[in-house]
Amino acid sequence: MNFQQLKIIREAARCEFNLTEVANTLFTSQSGVSRHIRDLEDELGVEIFIRRGKRLLGMTEPGKALLTIAERILDEAGKVRRLADVFTNETSGVLTIATTHT
């Protein structure tokens, strides 16, 4: 399991299960998105999406639970990145400006 797979699950729900739109949003190919989904389902041993043929129609119960956790993980990862930026960005800091009324 990796962050890209979790992003794909999140975006699939946001894009109403349109994998072409997911691929465009994440700047990847539709076939790559499909492969990541299959790989994650194989790794976890559960189906994440309800399908009709090759079309995704919705999320299974395990998929909904996974989506909730994936959103939390991705949110926390974003917080870690922002925290690191605070400590590595030398141009950030506090600037205090005082003026007088004349």
Tell me the per-residue pLDDT of 39-73, one tens digit each, with 9 for 90 and over.
Answer: 999 999 999 999 999 899 999 999 999 999 999 99
Residue 49 lies in a domain: yes
Torsion of CA 51, 53, 54, 57, to 10 degrees: -30
Q: Please tell me the predicted confidence (pLDDT) of residue 91.
A: 66
Residue 96 lies in a domain: no
For the purposes of burial, counting CB atoms within 10 Å of the CB of 22, is it exposed (0-12), middle (13-18) or buried (19 or more)?
Answer: buried
Give the SS3 label for residue 59: strand
Specify the CATH number for the domain of residue 84. Answer: 1.10.10.10
**Average per-residue pLDDT for the chain:** 92
Q: Please tell me the predicted confidence (pLDDT) of residue 77.
A: 94
How many angstroms separate the Cα of 85 from the Cα of each of 20, 88, 94? 32, 5, 15
Q: Please tell me the predicted confidence (pLDDT) of residue 42.
A: 98
pTM above 0.75, yes or no: yes
Residue 53 lies in a domain: yes
Residue 8 lies in a domain: yes
Q: Please tell me the predicted confidence (pLDDT) of residue 58.
A: 97
Residue 97 lies in a domain: no
Residue 99 lies in a domain: no
Domain count, the chain: 1
What domain range is 12 assigned to? Answer: 3-88
Give dist(CA 56, CA 95) in Å, integer: 51
